[in-house]
Structure 1
Amino acid sequence: MPSVKASEPHNRKRQRSEAKPETDFSRQPTAKRQKLKDHQRHQTPSSFWDNLSRQWLTRRTLREFDRRTVWPAVLVPPYRTGEENIDLAKLKRFARHGGPSLGDIRGSNRAQRPSNWAEINERLAQLRPSLSPSQFSEAVFETFQQTNEDALTENTVMSKAFPIIAGTADITSQEHLYFGNLKHLTDGSIMKAKPDFYDGARPAELNTQVREQLSEYIEPSAKKNAPCLPNFFTEAKGPDGSAPVCELQAMYDGAMGARGVHELRSYVGQETPFDNKAYTITSTYHYSGLLTIYTTHPTASESPTNPTEYRIIQLNSFAMTGNPETFRQGAGALRNARDWAKEKREELIAAANGKVPDAEYSDLVSSTQSFTSQPSKEPTRPESETSADELALDADTFTSSSRRAPVGARTKPPPPVSSNQRSKKTRRVNNRSGTGSGGSQVI
């Protein structure tokens, strides 16, 4: 019996030791251990790496880099190609040679410059008295430098630093207005523009009929008092903003503005709406002090789905925080650009208004003519010895009273004039004409 009792614990201990290797990960095959490590390594979410302000060159960083760049399979070509059977070999060869040209989007080719390029540059280079050394001193420039340095957000850049550059002018403008009323420039997948700053015309300056007909091209907002026909824009970025993004936003703004000008020129009836001239200017300003000015103009496209293309060309750039002279050049160019854009708006609006008669004025003239042509209900009176000046005075009195009376209203005949009153009136008129009181003068 004792021997039996002594053997039972030994058997139980041996059974536990035999079962231990089943849970010992160190003795698992190499492939299984590697799979477990890979699984543990991939537990780190992608957001962890995306939110890091700085990524150190470690093994984990390199593995994450490999996971994102090497491991994914070859991407399927996008559906926008319109090709059902795609030759991947040709597509890869096409990509290795640079892919499609984006020159028409960036506007980098000098051959795409507008035909009024020299005119615009000459206008932007004109000197402005408000920026002369006597008016804009070095102390004022240092104040601008400090203001620009203290602007830590995009809104502060636009509200504090940019107004010093733009100056004060009698130009209708608006800031941070969402262009929700304008028709989509693309297929609707891109958000509508919301420029940081733009110049436009007062809605009352353009004929109502024209505004209603071209509303989705020239009226940015459903608010009827918002400036219409915008053709000058500014996009700005603060310290954390991206300069390339700022440029893309300016390109989008400029295309919207150039399209509106193009539609209004087509309405006026220009024989060649694609005259290769620019009527729209955009600008960008970065917290670093870089001011860049562009032109945007439409050109005919060979694509049947997109008949119009819009090209943005850089005019010039200025380091506004460098020294007073570069500031004067940049601020002068921007202010001259705003004036030039306003002049082009006014010329186009005048031409558009000339194509449409004033409906209210036409109605008023027709109503007045119908009223004065009605037969008079006054009894016929014999000819009097009154002068022609007196008759003219009576006619003026009647006309002025008819303007005040509503159209179609009945007017009471004038009270009869006694001989004494008529003689007094005749003498008064004769005294005015310088003939004296002895007789009347007939013209």
Structure 2
Amino acid sequence: MATRQNLKRPPAAGFPSEERPDKKVRGSEDADNFTQPSNFSPQFWDDLSRVWLTPRALRELDRRNDAAAQPAANPPAALLAVRGKSLDQFARHGGPNLCHLRGYWQVPKDDDDDDDAAAVEMFAKRRLAELQKEAEAAAPETKKASPYDDNFEQHLKDYGIYPEGHRGPAGGGDRCWPLEPRNMEELRSQLSARRPSLSPSSSPSLERAFEEFRRRNHDAVSEASVVANLIPAITGSASRIPNEFSLKFTSLASMTGERTVAPQPDYYEGARLDAVDSSVSWDLRDIIVPTKHARAPAVPNLFVEVKGPKGRLDVLSRQVCHDGAYGARAMNSLQNYCREEDHQDEDEDRDQNPEAAAFYDGNAYVYSAAYHSRDQNLVLYAHHPTAPRPAVRDDGDRPAPAEYHMNEIGTYLMKNLRGFIEGVTALRNARDAARRYRDDFIGAANARVR
């Protein structure tokens, strides 16, 4: 990801400090708690390469049909001109023939007629309102449609963000799909590394931890319960790594044209903002600094999304895909920060499409985890970027984007002690690896400006 070196340096005081509100967790299973529009914008639907039949798509269709059915407020000017000319010609010849009305008795008007008509009209309006209320009361409640539906996934693909198992768009060239990171073997070996705290010698304490985990999982009836009670049990001690729960990423530049919801992972880890040089954090502020909260972790590269017993697996997968793409972009931006000296011959390409001129090593430095409490299944993914392919996606209005890939690196059924130990070991090893990658990239970027 190219850097923005022409931006002004931050003021001496650094970023504005804000008091962070109390931590909140999402309470719904498939939709976010934060305020969002009832549907995506019309531009979202117009840009889709393929529209899937979902509740939100039907809602947009109803909206467009209602708008098309409304008559124009005023008749067109051309129609008024034609009517005016016809009336002039009609009046020039004496107007209509009224001979058949000669001698017709005028009906006497009763003063009570107006009162009767008004009473009838008032009764009709009142009765219509009563019928509408009865219909609304009898109608079944409509479940809130999740924004993470098939059309959301299609929008991600259209913007070069591919979920697990994606086979690639037409014109994939010589690429082998799905694209795995070059360090896939290293990633998987990292997950299985032994941890002293989870060794067989700790069997009694591990059994107690597993029984407590199983009890909490059984008692969890909502996504909020899973976030509050199960994530800490899986991740372990969180105090040594900066982390945050259910914080919406409001400051990052959108990767989907600002036409979808912003990422809001149930849990993520990053670095303290003051660990990043102020020049680096300022130049990359809309890529590595997810929120204006001064104490919120920056450079997020480990995410956890969960679902309660009634949560949908497809929604869970799309959420981690969305989160991981933002993390992969952040890490790639740090990797490319101040590398212009090594790419002087690519200045023209960088001006036209910064992402095309960026360096991509094909490795993954971002992890995500998805846990579903009904199945007690934990799945770990790796996310990595690759260079844009203009032949595949270039609509003229914007250059082809970098592509972001999500690959499964481990799955763990945590219904027994062995599965629990394997899953906890894998996620905690992923946390340590993500921190090492993050610290190395931050240190290298800081060194380039000092």
Taking structure 2 as the reference length, the TM-score comes to 0.56
Matched, 1:120 2:120: no
Q: CA deviation at 1:309?
A: 1.0
- C-alpha separation in 1, matches of 2:424 and 2:365: 20
1:6-85 counterparts in 2 under 5 A? 48=139, 51=142
Residue of structure 1 in register with 2:388 after alignment:
301
Q: Which residue of 2 aligns with 1:194?
A: 264
Deviations 1:218-273 (A, max 9, x none): 00001122110000000111122112101101100001111111111111427662
The equivalent residue for 1:242 is 312
Q: Is the 8 A contact 2:164 2:408 kept in 1?
A: no
Amino acid aligned to 1:327 = F
TM superposition shift of 1:207: 0.2
Q: Summarize deviations over 1:99-156 as a string: whole Å, max 9, x none.
A: x9x9944444564000000001011110111112332432331121011111112111
Query: Following the alignment from structure 2 to structure 1, what is the Cα–Cα distance between the partners of residues 275 and 317?
Result: 31
8 A Cα contact 1:296 1:310, kept in partner:
yes
Q: What is the rounded CA distance, in whole Å, between the counterparts of 2:137 and 2:365 in structure 1?
A: 47
1:342 aligns with one of 435, 441, 445: 435
Structure 2 residue aligned with 1:174: 244
Quote the offset at 1:45 in angstroms.
8.1
Identity within the alignment, %: 34
Superposed, 1:320-339 pairs within 5 Å as 320=414, 322-339=415-432
CA contact (8 A) 2:163 2:318 kept: no
**Is residue 371 of structure 2 the alignment partner of residue 285 of structure 1?**
yes
Distance 1:356 1:292 in 2: 38
Distance in 1, matches of 2:164 and 2:368, equals 14
Structure of greater relative contact order (alpha carbons < 8 Å, 6+ residues apart): 2
What is the aligned partner in structure 2 of residue 273 from structure 1?
A: 359
2:446 maps to a residue whose letter is N
Shift of 1:319: 1.0
Deviation of 1:47 (Å): 9.0
Of stretches 215-224 and 306-315 in structure 1, the one that deviates more from structure 2 is: 306-315
Within 2, Cα distance between the matches of 1:230 and 1:153? 26
Deviates more, 1:186-195 or 1:109-118: 109-118
Query: Could you say what the CA RMSD is over the residues aligned between the two structures, in angstroms?
Result: 2.6
The answer (yes or no) to whether the contact 1:107–1:311 under 8 Å persists in 2 is: no
- Asked whether the 8 Å contact 2:249–2:264 carries over to 1, the reply is yes
Q: How many residues are treated as equivalent by the alignment? A: 268
Runs of 5+ unmatched residues, structure 1: 1-42, 53-77, 79-99, 358-443
The structural deviation recorded for 1:340 is 0.1
3-state SS, counterpart of residue 380 of structure 2? strand
Equivalent position to 2:227, from 128, 152, 158: 158
Q: Give SS of 1:137's match.
A: helix
Work out the CA distance in 1 between the residues paired with 2:138 and 2:196: 55
Call closer, same or farther: CA 1:108–1:47 in 2, change over 3 Å. Answer: farther
Counterpart CA distance in 1 for 2:324 and 2:448 is: 26
Measure the CA separation in 2 of the matches of 1:333 and 1:106: 19
8 A contact 1:268–1:351 mirrored in 2: no
Distance, in Å, in 1 between the alignment partners of 2:261 and 2:184 is 31
Aligned: 1:213 with 2:283: yes
Q: What are the ranges of 5 or more consecutive residues in structure 2 without an aligned counterpart?
A: 1-133, 144-150, 152-157, 168-176, 344-357
Change (3 A) 1:47 1:254: farther
Separation in 2 of the partners of 1:133 and 1:48? Answer: 58
Alignment of 1:102-121 (within 5 A): 104-109=162-167, 111-121=178-188
Secondary structure at the counterpart of residue 230 of structure 2: helix
Measure the CA separation in 2 of the matches of 1:116 and 1:339.
Answer: 16
Contact 2:165–2:178 under 8 Å retained in 1: no
Contact 1:108/1:313 (8 A) holds in 2:
no
Radius of gyration: which is bigger? 1
More helix by share: 1
In the superposition, relative to structure 1, how do residues 325 and 176 fare at CA in structure 2: closer, same or farther (>3 Å)? same
User: CA-to-partner distance for each residue in 1:180-221, whole Å, 9 max, x for gaps?
Assistant: 000011111101111110000011111001101100000000
